[in-house]
Structure 1
Amino acid sequence: MAFLSGLSAFPITPINRDGRIDTKALRKLIKRLCAAKVDSIGLLGSTGCYMYLSRGERRRVLTTALGEAGGRAPIVVGVGALRTDEAVRLARDAKAIGAAAGLLAAVSYTPLTDDEVFEHFSVVARESGLPIVIYDNPATTHFHFTPALVGRLVKVPGIVAIKNPTGKSDAIESHLAEQRSIVPEGFSIGYSGDWNAAEAMIAGADTWYSVLGGILPEVCVKIVRASQAGDATEARRLDAALTPIWDLFKQVSSLRTVYALAELLDICRAEPPRPIMPLPAAAKQQVAAALARLPSGTGS
Structure 2
Amino acid sequence: MFSGLSAFSLTPIYKNNVDKVAFASLIQRLVPSGVDSIGVLGSTGCYAYLSMKERAQAARIAIEHAGNVPVIVGISATNTRDVLSLADDAQKAGARGVLLAPVSYQKLTEDEVFSLYKTVTQQLSVPLCIYDNPLTTHFTFTDELHGRIAELPNVGSIKIPAVSSDPIVAKARIEHLRNIIPSHVTIGISGDACAASGLNAGCEAWYSVIGGLFPEIAMAITQAAQASNAEEATRLSNCLKPLWNLFAEYGGSLRVIATAAELLGFVSSPSLPPPLMSIKGHGRQQLAELLVELKLG
- Same-fold status (TM-score > 0.5): yes
- Between the aligned partners of 1:80 and 1:207, the Cα distance in structure 2 is 20
Quote the residue 1:175 is aligned against.
173
- Between the aligned partners of 1:74 and 1:278, the Cα distance in structure 2 is 29
Q: Which amino acid aligns with 2:46?
A: C
Quote the residue 1:134 is aligned against.
130
Indicate the SS of the match to 1:181: helix
Quote the residue 1:107 is aligned against.
103
Quote the residue 2:26 is aligned against.
29
1:39-64 CA-to-partner distances (Å, cap 9, x unmatched) read 11110000001111111111111111
- Between the aligned partners of 1:224 and 1:167, the Cα distance in structure 2 is 16
- 2:2 is the alignment partner of 1:4: yes
TM-score for the superposition, normalised by structure 1: 0.95
How far off is 1:168 after superposition? 2.7
Quote the residue 2:256 is aligned against.
257
- 2:147 is the alignment partner of 1:151: yes
Structure 1 range deviating more: 73-82 or 236-245: 236-245
How far off is 1:130 after superposition? 3.2
TM-score for the superposition, normalised by structure 2: 0.96
Q: Which amino acid aligns with 1:255?
A: L
Indicate the SS of the match to 1:169: coil
Quote the residue 1:243 is aligned against.
241
Quote the residue 1:233 is aligned against.
231
Quote the residue 1:119 is aligned against.
115
- Between the aligned partners of 1:223 and 1:196, the Cα distance in structure 2 is 11
- For structure 1, the residue ranges without an aligned partner over 5 or more in a row are none
Work out which of the residue numbers 45, 66, 74 in structure 2 matches 1:69.
Answer: 66
- 2:269 is the alignment partner of 1:282: no
1:244-290 CA-to-partner distances (Å, cap 9, x unmatched) read 11111111131000011101211112421111122122111111121
Q: Which amino acid aligns with 1:284?
A: R
Q: List, as ranges, runs of 4+ consecutive aligned residues in structure 1 with deviation greater than 3 Å.
A: none
Indicate the SS of the match to 2:88: helix
Quote the residue 2:216 is aligned against.
218
% identical equivalent positions: 44
Indicate the SS of the match to 1:112: coil
Quote the residue 1:97 is aligned against.
93
- Between the aligned partners of 1:59 and 1:191, the Cα distance in structure 2 is 26
Quote the residue 1:14 is aligned against.
12
1:215-247 CA-to-partner distances (Å, cap 9, x unmatched) read 111010011011101112221221111111111
- Between the aligned partners of 1:111 and 1:172, the Cα distance in structure 2 is 28
How far off is 1:208 after superposition? 0.6
Q: Which amino acid aligns with 1:291?
A: L
- 2:44 is the alignment partner of 1:50: no
1:21-79 CA-to-partner distances (Å, cap 9, x unmatched) read 111111111111112111111100000011111111111111111111122x1111110
Indicate the SS of the match to 2:158: strand
- Between the aligned partners of 1:168 and 1:188, the Cα distance in structure 2 is 19
How far off is 1:167 after superposition? 3.9
Check the 8 A contact 1:136/1:144 in 2, yes or no: yes
How far off is 1:105 after superposition? 0.4
Check the 8 A contact 2:9/2:213 in 1, yes or no: yes
Q: Which amino acid aligns with 1:281?
A: G
- For structure 2, the residue ranges without an aligned partner over 5 or more in a row are none
- Between the aligned partners of 1:147 and 1:10, the Cα distance in structure 2 is 25
1:171-199 CA-to-partner distances (Å, cap 9, x unmatched) read 32121011100111121100101011011
Check the 8 A contact 1:136/1:163 in 2, yes or no: yes
Check the 8 A contact 1:7/1:210 in 2, yes or no: yes
- Between the aligned partners of 1:84 and 1:31, the Cα distance in structure 2 is 32
Quote the residue 1:85 is aligned against.
81
- Between the aligned partners of 1:114 and 1:240, the Cα distance in structure 2 is 36
